[in-house]
Structure 1
Amino acid sequence: MKLIPFLGFKGQAHDAMAFYAQALGGKVTAEMRYRDMPPTDGSPGCNEMPPETLDHVAHSQLEVGTAVLMAADGPGEDGGGSTTINVDVDTPEEAERVFAALAEGGVVHMPIGETFWAHRWGMLQDRYGKPWMVNCMKSP
């Protein structure tokens, strides 16, 4: 299991991650825009996004040695301007177990399920008001 900080931005994710890569001596290893996301799996793909946000970043990943930082420009009224912890696990069963445990007494924002990038992914706010994502990635 890995715990990965996930930074939410309001349209500045691309510039912020480039800045962090330079400042930390790392490399942005992945970046996807909302317009490039398939709209068929229930995640916020291009058909659910306002037209003015289609070029915003849906996912960015920065690697510095063995450390990973993820970011995106979020939808919604706050634009996703928050920090979330992404729990990266190895199996769908572990993802479901961790998600259920963290969601107990909390609020589920995106139920755990399969997406085009993950065997399981979901978002929640725990009973203490902290945001989490649980991710069991598919191989690239």
Structure 2
Amino acid sequence: MPQPIAYLSFDGNCKEAMYYYEQTLGGKITVMMNGAESPMAAMIPPESAHRILHARLELPDGGMLFAGDCPQQMPYEGIKGVSFALNYETTEEANRIFNALAEGGQITMPMQGAFWAKCWGMLVDKYGTPWIINGEPLPI
């Protein structure tokens, strides 16, 4: 069965954000293609050629995160109505990732205990991506 893959949209800072996620979350960027490098290069306006058309970050557990810059001619409204949840086996790892993603962003729910995990918290990172971080998930 297909697994859902988050596809993040950015307003010209996709490359910076994805390298930040690579460093913070681990994994490896396997695709970072701008408009000029794509098979569609002839159709991309020159002022948009530097924008990322497709990026792929492969995470250590086999998950993936895709991203791209919003086309310049379209209004960018940010990421709305979704949060990206990450589960970590230990509270230490969850806290480390939470603190790293929170740097320069906004904590919307500090790390705390819950019935589904020994610790969890919510934040919006400096790129506008909303995250939910869980440490040591508990059986429900």
Using structure 2 for the length normalisation, give the TM-score.
Answer: 0.50
Using structure 1 for the length normalisation, give the TM-score.
Answer: 0.50
Larger Rg: 2
Where relative contact order (Cα < 8 A, 6+ residues apart) is larger, the structure is 1
